[in-house]
Structure formats: C-alpha cells, structure tokens
Structure 1
Amino acid sequence: MAAAYAALVSLTHTLDQILLHPPPTLHINFDRKQIQSLRDKAEYILEDFFKNYTSSGGNKEMEGLETMIGDAAYAAEYIVEFNVMNQILGRSSADREESSNFLFEAVEISIQEFLFIEKKLVKLKKDMQRPNNYYLTTTKASSSSSSRPLLPAGGKNNMVGFDDHMVEIMGALSTNESNLRIISIVGMGGIGKTTLATNVFNNPFIVEHFQLRAWFTVSQEYTYKKILLGLLHQINNTYRNAHEIDDDDDDYAIGDRLHKTLFGRKYLIVMDDMWDIKACDMVKRFLPDNNNGSRILVTTRLMKLAVDIGSCSPYQLNLLEKSQSWDLLREKIFAEERCPDELEGTGKSIATKCRGLPLALVVIAGVLAKSKTEEHWVSIEKDVTSAVNNQDDESCMKILLLSYNNLPIHLKPCFLYFAVFPEDHIIIAERLVRLWVAEGFIRQCGHKSLEEIGKEYLEDLIDRNLILVDWRLDTGEVTYCNIHDVLSNLCRREAQKDNFILSFARKLYNPDILTFMKITPRLSINGGKWKGTKHKPYTSQIPTRSLLCFSKGASTDYTARRFPLLRVLDVVDIYPKDEILQLINSRYVSCMCPMMSMSSSISRLWSLQTLVVDGELILPGEIWQMSQLRHVVANSIILPDPPPPDNVQKIILLENLQTLSRVADFECTEAVINRIPNVKKLEIVCGTTGSNCLRNLGLLHKLEQLYLELITGTRCCGEIVFPSSLKGLILSECKIPWEDMSVVGSLPNLQFLWIHKRELEIWEADNTHFPCLEELHLGCLNLKKIPSDFAEILPLQ
C-alpha cells in the first residue's frame, strides 16, 4: 500500500515538473495534452482510491489492485524519465526525435493501464456501497488486530521503572476534584502502558476507593456496541455477555442502560489501547458526571489523542534506563533467585541492546530462560533484535505492527523510509526531510513548502511514538532523531515485503541479488560491498532509483553505468564528478570530494533539488538555470555571478532555493538577491576581499537563518542590513561596527543569537531589545558584562 501510494505521488511530481517547470535550455519534446491526461488519471486514483480505502486486510483482490496501481505508476514514471534522459543525452536531432516518439507511444500505453484501473475502481465503489462492507474506511477491522484480552489479568504484574508514574496516577485518580476527569497514559507500543494501568486498576487502594470498576481493551477493531456491552458485563454480571450481541438493542439503548447503572456511583473506567478519539467521545456521552470523583483512565500510543481527551497533561512513559532494563530482565528470568556470575555480564549487554523497551526485554527473557547457559546467551547477544522479532508467535511484531497499520497513508512511506538507515543510526532531521522530498513522498498542500510539510510529518510520527527525538532546539524544532531497533526491524520487514526498500549490512556475494534489485526501487548498503563484479549480472543496468551507502568503500562499484536512472545518491565516499553528471534524473546528490569543479553539463540535471558536497564546490554560471534547486551545501562554495540578461532568454529565478551554505565571498548584489528570493538559510564566509553590498541582505524577506563569518583580518565592506524575518543569527569573527550590532537587538523575530570571537567589551542594550530571543551564546573573550536588562527578556532560556 505504501509503495503504491509513494509511486503515484512521485509520478505526479515528475509530471508536474514537465508541465509547469520544463527546463528552458534543454528543449524536451512531449505532448502536453497527453502528459496532462496521465497526470489527471494519477490524481484521480490518489483522491478516489487512497482516501476511501485504508488496508487490504488480506483480501487478494484488493492486494492485486494495490500492486497494479504501484506497478502502473512506477512504470509510467520510469518511461517518462528514461525518455527525457535520452532526449537530453541524444547526440543528434534524429536520436532526440526517436526518443520523443517513443515517449508518446509509451505514455499512451500507461494511460490505457490507468483507464483499466479506473474501471476496477468503479467496480470497487459498487462493492463498497454494500452493507457491512469491510473495505470502508470507517471499519476498524484489521488482520493484525491485537490479541489482548478485553479484561486485565488479576493481581500485580512485574513493573520496573514506573513506580513514580504509578504513585502520580493513583494520586490523580483519587484527588479531591469532584468532577469527572480523564487521565491518559501515552507511550510507544510495548513500553508498559497496559501493565501500568493494570497495576493501578488492581491496586487495593483503588479497589477500595471506587464503588465500581470496569475495563475494556478498545484496540483498532471495535464497535460502539462491543465497548458498551463489555463495560456493562463487568459492572453487572447479570447483563448479557459482551460477545452475545443482540441486534435489537441499538447503541443508544445500551448506553442508556450503562448510564443508569453508573448514575450516583463512584466509578473508574479504563479504556485500554485507544486509537480513535471517537470511541472515547461516544462512551463519555453515556458516563454520568456524578461530581463524586469518578475517573476515566485511557492508554494510547498517540500523543495528540492523549492531549485532546485528557483533563490534564498526559503521563508520558519513557524507555527504561540501563540499570532498570537489567533489573526487569533478571527478574523475568530468575524471579527471586540470583543470576549466576558467568551470565551477568552477557545478560547486562543483552538488556542494554533492548534499548529500554519492556516488551523487548520480556520477549528476550523468555528466549534466555529456555537455556541458562553462557553459550546460549552469547549466541543471543550477537543479534538481539532478530531474537526478539523471530519468535514463533511473533507477539512482539504483532503488537508493534498495530502502530504501522494505524498510520494514515501519507505517513506510511515516510515511516518505511527509516529502513534505509542502519540500526542505532542518529538521523539528521533536515537530511531526512530533504530525502523524503527528493523521493517524491510529500504532496503539496496550500502555500507551505514541501520541507515544512515534511517537518510536520516527522512531528506526527514522533507524536505517534514511532520515532525517538535525540535533540530538539529550544525553539521546538527537531534536529536529530532515531528509531528503536525493534521498530527498525519492522520497517525493514515491511519495506522489503512491499518491494519498497532493500537494505544490506554485510558483504554481497550472491549474484541472485540482482533479481531483488530489479523490482526494488531503493537500495541501502551498510558495511557491504559487491564482490565478483566481473560476473555478467553486475555489469547490467539496474532500474534502482535510490542508492544510499553508509560506510566508506561500499559505493565504489555503484556507478552511473549500473544505475543510469538514479534519483537519490547519498554516499560517504568520494564520488567522481563525471559519474554525477551522467545522473540526468538525479534529485538528491550527497558525496565527498576534496574539490569538485562542476562543468556546464550540470544544467542537464533537470530535476536536481539537493546537492551536498563534503569539500569545496566550484559551480559554473549554468547553475543559475537550474530552477528546481532547493538546497546547495558544501564546506566552501564558489558561486559565480549570474549571467547578464539578454533580449532572447528570460531571466530564471531560483524560486525553490532555500539553502545556500558556506558561500565564499558572496556578492550580495541586487542581481544575485533577486534570483534567490525565497532563501531561508544562508551561510556566508568572507575571505580577504570581504563581501560587498551586505546591505542587500535586507531584501531577502524569507531569510530565517544567517551565518556570517569573516576570515581573520577581514573587515566587512559597508553597511549590513538584516531582514526582519531572521530567526537565527550566527556571527563569527565579524568586525561589524557597533551601530550595526545594535540593530540586531531590534530584530522582531530573532530567537537564536550566537556571537563568536568578536572584540566586544561592553554590550549596550535595554529591555526593549530581543523581544523573542530564546537562546544566546557568547564567545567574546573581552566581554566584561552583559546588560542587566537581559534578565527581563522573558523567552530567554
């Protein structure tokens, strides 16, 4: 499902680029009406199919339709980009005309395939209109529904690390506030929410405190009637069993019975594993507020849901510390017995590798308990994640799969994309979002940029407790994130099953790997390198669209000759410039190179959005023709002035350009500034000549982050004007006149300020300056003091 959606969205991006932003200097020939027809059909399926259908649920017909959509979209985009590449690389007009004719014929075939799919969808709509049809999005049926019982087990479950939470929650349940209140517990799958709620529910104090208690596990498969009857069954044992549903009783009649049963009594209702706010809202309608301290306790994996329904801040459960992890593992294996000394070191190592997830610790404890020998434990230690996920009943994977199944379709490709990263890899959020954009996962919405939408997607995955935050700025923006190993394993399994991503972490000797690569658009290599490259299969061209290598030496065999249609190339190796210039359809290129001097041929990369070079990057004048550029980053960028306009060629604005990082001796002339009107992040390094016309920086009305560095001995030339849109400003060794520095304090949106190695002794500022400043970093060795009025800047942390 995720692969089909991603392929379709990516196709619409490619077609939009041809229709709306064709490269003006490359003269690509195509039939506009035909391309528009294909675009319309792709949009119809996006709107009609993916908005009305959530999961195949194991239905063969639906799975076949998903595959058909994905294959058709992938083939159509392949055809378009392949023929565009041939037209750009064509040596003669005859070659280009042949490619153009073939493009017309191939797109016509794609249109017919989409028409056939439309007919299938029409039939599907008729089927969906039948009563009790489980294809409807309102249905909660899922082939991976939780197998948890509707009632909690009696007694006390082992619980480590959450004692403080239990005390706080019991306090919230028993507080003197008389009105009906909802308390929510939130955390990732398997972190212990149900265990904590069970221990609270069965605690003798709570049993004594409430006259009536009832528990219902909602999960993803529920009906209102089942919930209401389940609660009634516990409260009144004389009422019919929850599984014996009488169709004659409607929801209102059952709810009214529940209301009358609870009226005037002090009760505790637990709704475990909540995924949908509608379920809570419906039940709450029938729960009387008796003003006697009654409570509702909800557990969920979704932070937004927990916040929306709760009467107070949710109780967020975090991963266990290392010592707590070992305590839980030891207790599950040995109970009250002592762990043998020869097993303790290995046991602690295994506990650490579970990364604080109680579910993983409980599952691995069952594996270790089967054989309490050093040999067995050492073998498990080598690959803990596989041992957790490869149990016969796959109980751990089933629980975690619920989180994936619950994702809206637009988030599923973004989540599965984490499969490209190695385990325990710290991911730069900015890089991740740029990759999502380059892969074509993100649909345009309103006036927001694709990157802004991508950041919202990432925050949504974090709120759903699928992604962990490693570092968040004081402004709230996520800078680094990662994914838990067991969820990473889930990503890789689902991505490979969907032919979405193929990832390797070892040497690749098997020539049969080519079979998988022919059907999988994305390849991730970590610590592996192809061997036996003399064999014929490895000299073949492979239709892989994305290649990411996370270890040096892994990408040396992955050349443009093997992957002519690559769109994403992200490697940590030195990659030949000539190879990059052959990747005509590339959208994202990141590599190492001490000095990369690009030729005019770079303008042939008609789709290039992101160029990242770990080294010096020398760009030609043709860079000003590349209207799709969004981010250009290097250790040092030599950027030529744009060519003067002529009467024939229209001036091309780089309206998509958002990041220009570490430009040496940037000439801030109006001609340059006008070409990059939407830049948000700009880094300038002034050399011995300085940078002229820095006052023109004030014309960059979208600029949010500015880094300005002066090489020792350099002075700024002329006045500096900062745009009012600035949110972050870093000044390094800048000998800026004080009158210009004082203007910094009046910037209305400035949240982050870093002044490094400036000859500043006395800072003149008052409490009207820096109205939004949250972070201030000073590296001024001669500074005697900072203004006392800084203490009155309320946002400053």
Structure 2
Amino acid sequence: MDIVVGALSGMVDALPGKLGELLEQEYALLSGVRGDVVFLQAELGSMRAAIHHCVSLDHPDNQTTGWIGRVREVAYDIEDWIDLFAVRVDGGAQSATGFRAWIRRGWNKLAALPDRHTIANELQGLKERVVEISEQRKRYSLGAMVVTTAQPPLDPRLSALFVDRDSLVGFDEKVEDVSKLVMDAGSRTELKIVSIVGMAGSGKTTLAKAVYQRLQAQDNFQCSAFVSIGPKQDMVSKTVKNMLSNFGDQPRGGEDINQLITRVREILANKRYLIVVDDLWSSEQWGTIRCCFPENDLNSRIITTTRNDALLTDSYSCSSKVVHRISLLSDTDAKKLFLKKVFISGNSCPQHLEDVLTQIMRKCGGLPLAVVTIAGKLAQKQSRDEWEKLGLNLLCSSHSDRSDGLKQILNLSFNDLQPHLRTCLLYLSIFPENSEVDTERLVRRWIAEGFIAEGRSISAEATALGYLNELIGRNLVQPLDLNHEGVPRRCRVHPVIHDFIVYKSMEENFATLMDAQHVPNNDSTVRRLSLRNSSKQDQPAVRNESTDLSHARSITVFGHASAAPQLTNLKVVRGLDLEGCHGPVCLDGLCKLVLLRYLSLRGTDTSEVPPTIGDLRCLETLDVRSTKVKELPPSIVRLEKLMHLLAGSAKVPDGIANMKSLQTLSCGGTTKSSANFIEEINNHDNLRELELYSDATETPGNKKRVRFPAHGFRSVKKLCIRCPSPLGPLSPMHCQQSKCLN
C-alpha cells in the first residue's frame, strides 16, 4: 500500500506553530496545561520529521502505514482541541479593551472554570495518545527499513514506447500535425523546440515516439535520440548517459554530470540533431538537460513532453519555441479503440452491453490510457456483471492491483505535488463526478478548512487561487469559463482523475462519501462528509442516524436537504454546505456550531436565518443567495470575522459599518433606506466587491435616487448593480476596476 499523507503532512507541519500561539496566551492556560502544550509542541516536531522520512520510502511496510494512520487521527484531534480552546475559554473578550473588558474577561474566566478542567483532561488524553504513538515508532523502528522482498512494479510508461503504429486510433492526424509543427521553420535554420503538453495518460509519449520515428525516416538528421526522465531528480545523469548511448558513444564510467554534458555538446556541436526528451517533471531537470543542446543554426529539433504547463521551456534561450496541447480522443475514436482492444472483431458490441459501454466511455472521458486499461480488464469478457464491476469501479477499490498502470501513472502526478496541493486536490473528491465547481465556493471552503495560510503581502484568497492555478497547470484540474483576468469562474476534474482522488481520499480517510449504494464503515472516524442523494422527490434520501459526526469538519449535501444530519451533533464542523439542496432545510442548533466558518444555503428553500446567527463569531462566509430570505436578522452585524456576506436580494440590518472584515457584500440594501446604507458602507476600507439589488417598487413619479459619493468606494474593485428595469443615471463614483449594470 502506498503511504497517503497529502493532508496529514501539511497539518502536522502547522500544528507546532498553532501550539506556540496558544502558549503566548498566558491568561488562558491552567497550571499544568502549559507543560503539556510544550510537550506536544516538541513531540509533534519529531513526528513531522518521521512523517517526511516515511513519505520518502518507496515500499513501506504495513506497520509504517498503520502508524501514519494513527498520527493522522491524533493530529486532527489536537487541531480540534486548539480551535475549541479559544471559544470555550476566551469567551470573545480578548478583542475588547478597557476596564469593562477586563471585568468581562475575569468573569468569563471564572464562568469557564468547569470547561477549563474538561479541556485539561482532554489535553492529558491527547498527550497519552501521542506518547503511545511515539513509543510504537521507536519500538518497531517504523520507517527505518525499506521492504526489499517486494519487487517494485514495472514502469507503466514503457508500454507507450513500444506501441505498434497499426494499433493506434485517433493519432494519425495528431502525428501529422506535430510533425509539420516540428519541421516548419520557414527560412530560418535555428534550433526549434516543440513541447507536447497534456494530462497523465493522454498519449504524450506515444505521440512523441510516433513523430520521432516518422521524422527519423523522412528527414536527414545526423544525430538522434529518444530519452525519458521521470519524476526522480537523480535520473538526469542516467538520461544523459542514455543519450550518449543513442549516439553510439558508450559512457566511460566515473564521469560527473558536467563531463557527460560536455561530451554530448561536443558530439552535437556541428551536427543536425533530433532529440526527444520525454516526461519532464521539474524546471531543475530541464535546466540541466538543456545544457546538452548547442544552438548551431543547422535546423536541429528538440521535442519535449510534460504534464506540467509550468515547464514549457520558457527559460531556454532559443527563440523558436512552440507548445502543442494534446487533445483527448473523440467519442468515436475512444469507442473504436475500446472495441478494438476488447473484441476480436473490433467493430461491434453485444446489445446487452451497449448501455454499460456508454457509461464506460463517459467514465474514460476520451483519455487513451483509461480506455486501454479498462479494455484490457474486459478483454474477451461478455458478462454484464464483470463489465459493471471492472469497467465502472476501476480505481475506487482499495484492493486494486499494484500493477495497474493507470493508477501508477496517476500516482506519479499525485506524489509530485507538495502536501498543500495534495490536500486541495483531495478536497475535490467531495463533489460528485463531472461537477462544475464554482471557483469562489471552492476557494472559500479551502480557507474555512484551514488549508490556506495568509501571507504578509498576499491574501488567503489570492494564495488559494495560486494553488488552483498550479493544479490547473499540472493538468489535474480543468478550468472553465475564464473571466477577463484569466481566472476560471468554475472548474472540474476529469472523471478518471475524480475516481483516483476518491480512491485516495478513502484510503487516507480524508472524506467520507455516502450515497444510496455506499454506507461508510462505522469503524472509521468521519472527518468530512459528502452526502449524495437524488434530487427527485420520489427517491428516498440517504439516512445517517447511526454515523458519528462529532469529529466531522465539513458537511456537504447534494440533493435532498432532508438528508442533512442534525446540527446539534456537529461539534467541530467548520463548513456546512447545502447549496442547491431541494426541500425544507432544518437549521435547529445552527448557532451552536461555534467553529463554523463557511455556511452556504444558496439555492435552497430557506426562508429565514436564525435570529441568533450573530453567535457564530468564527463565521467567515454566509451565502443565502437565491433563497426565500427577505431580511437578515440584526445580530448579523456582530460577526466581526465575516468576510463574505452574500445575501442576494435580502436586506441587511443597520450597523453594517461595524463589520470591518467585510470583503464581499451582496445585498438588497438596508431596512432603513438605500441612502443610509451607502453612507454606512462608504468608509469600509476592506470592501473589494459590492453587489446591490435595486428595489423596483418605486412608482414612476418617484424621483428618489441612490447617490454614490464621488470620494467613496476607494477599495472596491468590482461593483455590480442588479435591477429588473432600466437604471437611471448614476452619480459619480470611484471604483478601481469594473462595474456591472444589470
């Protein structure tokens, strides 16, 4: 089993710092508690080093993977304890100053004394678990050995190098296009580089090999070589040696990388060459390999393949550089390739399997490696049960064969990610297959879960968008509907990638996915719950009364709102997302969710927000757009940490000026008048986006207008005014970037 520590590594890295911040709050710690916090801080530092060492192992034993699982669970519980600490002990008085605040803190401290003893007992239990886990690692020397009896699986990329041209489907036109792209130079004779870019399994190596063979046969190149690198950094020297072997110059042994590069350059100095560098992974690799290629103005050519858009040879001094993004197979070609691999006839499918074939093709999404892999599993099989079991659930089973080339290929991409990017990618497993996820929704949920660290000069949202762009650049996430700044409004993952991250998420116990066909194992602690129900009224909703959700950090419901769990059971939940759910929504106990940071009721039948919503003092995002809510309760203005208030056409109460953290505001004005509302938000320094819904109830003779002060909205970058009728003249206003009038 592979070690999956995508979310764990980043979380354990952050915990010592969070404990350090807690130590600075001397007023809040009981005697004895401080020593336990210091102990945990030091022990987690040691655990962090051990985890990073375990991640580096190619073939860890079962004891090591089990130990990682125990560390993961205790790390989650420690973070929950830290986040609950301030709420149960601080009482919210620390943000206030003065004598009255001092009295308030003293009273809260006295009132919280029972909670303090409970907290101390919980911490003692956590300390005992950490000690036990630490002793287990020392006792069994976990992570110290690499199992040598198990042979590593064969490199799944090898098969792409030896594909019979006659077996290719849908590649003839691609080979023709790339060959022309490589050889087209006009009247110039300079070196040209063509990068073939695409997602894992899209056929980059197969295409590059076919082009290489074609050009070798057609054009007069004096030197040629096809070499592959792979994700390991130490493969560069081996790659250069392989290049020398292609030139008929066998390595002499004992030479360092500088000497090897010098020999390659000497061979290529006065020759017209064709080099394919397959499977580039890092700029460091390319920075070394590119030194082998002299620009000798002899019409030489280099072809590279990579699954990372960031490695498009921008750093190479050659001025002639072209990128070819490989497309996936069309529906027709994908079906043709599949039938060719499954049936001897290669041109027909039994009638009783036609509907399953349609589902399999939808699952493959035109990805050649997925088509070939599933076809290989189903070759010469005629049973519908086998087709459904093997064709539709290829990656979701934790017992899948390690020799599965598709899974290995995807694992290479996943393991190449930094821990924070693994976490963000795994989070997309929460959404159903082929979901088009709103970017703002995703980013704000990442932040609510604590995945994003806000820097000194960059906001958490900007950092999160950077993470999303990196996942897009690595061809793991697909961008949709780019705005004028090139930022995707929505995104999705390919069905095969989705299956893979669901498999990884289940393996790591990152998220629990529940639907009518799958009920989670009650032995596993639920950390994130995704409930997937049919939205049809005649379909029963999934019930989860027996599932313990006391440790759940996020709840996401798709379909029936009645499937949502009782909110009183959610002690540490940070995110509650019911967006688009049908049917009545029960919000009983909502205001007891003291750690809640993200709440979306968008598109539901909700008609009223609880009047005590102001008690959720950790809340950062509230979305009630497209609901029946007409007016938000007065307590909303007490939410000092609220950054995104998305009320849609609902009105907000007076006192909006007190919400100094607001960055995004969408509403229909205030309960008093639009003029007072504009005055209230005029001095907001943090407000970045403002969306106003105009009141269309004015009579034709009413001359009342909304005036925007010319000196106001200095920080607003986007202004959108929505109204059902044509909008009259606007008074002057300052707005940095854009305005939208609907």
TM range (shorter): 0.7 to 0.9
How far the C-alpha of 1:357 sits from its partner, in A, is: 0.8
Q: Is the 8 A contact 1:624 1:652 kept in 2?
A: yes
Partner of 2:205: 194
Correspondence 1:294-373 to 2 at 5 A: 294-308=300-314, 311-334=320-343, 338-339=347-348, 342=351, 345-346=354-355, 347=357, 350-372=360-382
Structure 2 residue aligned with 1:594, among 587, 590, 606?
A: 606
Distance 1:19 1:731 in 2: 51
Q: Percent identity among equivalent residues?
A: 22
How far the C-alpha of 1:15 sits from its partner, in A, is: 7.2
Correspondence 1:610-649 to 2 at 5 A: 610-613=621-624, 614-616=627-629, 618-642=631-655
* Per-residue CA distance 1:487-516 (angstroms, 9 max, x = gap): 111111111222211112325667xx3321
Q: Structure 1 residues 277, 679: CA separation in 2 closer, same or farther (over 3 Å shift)?
A: same
Structure 2: which amino acid aligns with 1:604?
A: D
Structure 2 residue aligned with 1:724, among 717, 724, 735?
A: 735
Structure 2: which amino acid aligns with 1:285?
A: C
SS in 2 for 1:561: helix
SS in 1 for 2:180: helix
Distance 2:124 2:353 in 1: 67
Distance 2:587 2:264 in 1: 72
2:562 pairs with 1:549: no
Correspondence 1:61-460 to 2 at 5 A: 70-84=72-86, 86=88, 96-103=112-119, 106=122, 146-149=155-158, 152-153=161-162, 156=165, 158-176=167-185, 177-203=188-214, 206=217, 208-221=219-232, 222-236=234-248, 239=250, 246=253, 248-308=254-314, 311-334=320-343, 338-339=347-348, 342=351, 345-346=354-355, 347=357, 350-372=360-382, 390=400, 393-460=403-470
How far the C-alpha of 1:387 sits from its partner, in A, is: 9.6
Partner of 1:694: 707
Distance 2:533 2:14 in 1: 29
Structure 2 residue aligned with 1:4, among 3, 8, 11?
A: 8
Distance 1:387 1:605 in 2: 40
SS in 2 for 1:293: coil
Q: Is the 8 A contact 2:637 2:653 kept in 1?
A: no
SS in 2 for 1:632: strand
User: Comparing 325-334 with 446-455, which one deviates more in the overlay?
Assistant: 325-334
Q: Structure 1 residues 715, 413: CA separation in 2 closer, same or farther (over 3 Å shift)?
A: same
Q: Structure 1 residues 661, 464: CA separation in 2 closer, same or farther (over 3 Å shift)?
A: farther
How far the C-alpha of 1:279 sits from its partner, in A, is: 1.9
Residues matched between the structures, number: 685
Q: Is the 8 A contact 1:673 1:696 kept in 2?
A: no
Q: Is the 8 A contact 2:7 2:420 kept in 1?
A: no
Partner of 1:779: none
Q: Structure 1 residues 587, 675: CA separation in 2 closer, same or farther (over 3 Å shift)?
A: farther
Q: Is the 8 A contact 1:9 1:443 kept in 2?
A: no
How far the C-alpha of 1:486 sits from its partner, in A, is: 1.3
How far the C-alpha of 1:65 sits from its partner, in A, is: 7.6
Structure 1: which amino acid aligns with 2:515?
A: A
* Per-residue CA distance 1:451-495 (angstroms, 9 max, x = gap): 111111111111100011232224312011111111111111111
How far the C-alpha of 1:725 sits from its partner, in A, is: 0.9
Distance 2:445 2:230 in 1: 33
Structure 2: which amino acid aligns with 1:453?
A: T
Partner of 2:566: 559
User: Comparing 683-692 with 279-288, which one deviates more in the overlay?
Assistant: 683-692
Q: Is the 8 A contact 1:668 1:692 kept in 2?
A: no
2:527 pairs with 1:521: yes
TM-score w.r.t. length of structure 2 = 0.80
SS in 1 for 2:731: coil
Structure 1: which amino acid aligns with 2:631?
A: I
Q: Is the 8 A contact 2:407 2:500 kept in 1?
A: yes
* Per-residue CA distance 1:317-375 (angstroms, 9 max, x = gap): 12222223223223434577542573794445533432111111111222333225777
* Per-residue CA distance 1:543-567 (angstroms, 9 max, x = gap): 11111111214534x1122222211
Structure 2: which amino acid aligns with 1:296?
A: I
Distance 1:494 1:642 in 2: 46
2:686 pairs with 1:678: yes
Q: Structure 1 residues 575, 384: CA separation in 2 closer, same or farther (over 3 Å shift)?
A: same
Distance 2:337 2:258 in 1: 45
Distance 1:401 1:715 in 2: 57
How far the C-alpha of 1:232 sits from its partner, in A, is: 1.3
User: Comparing 278-287 with 37-46, which one deviates more in the overlay?
Assistant: 37-46
Distance 1:553 1:682 in 2: 29
Q: Structure 1 residues 554, 457: CA separation in 2 closer, same or farther (over 3 Å shift)?
A: farther
Partner of 2:719: 706
Distance 2:438 2:312 in 1: 27
User: Comparing 523-532 with 487-496, which one deviates more in the overlay?
Assistant: 523-532
Structure 1: which amino acid aligns with 2:184?
A: T
Distance 1:392 1:53 in 2: 19
Q: Structure 1 residues 375, 697: CA separation in 2 closer, same or farther (over 3 Å shift)?
A: farther
TM-score w.r.t. length of structure 1 = 0.75
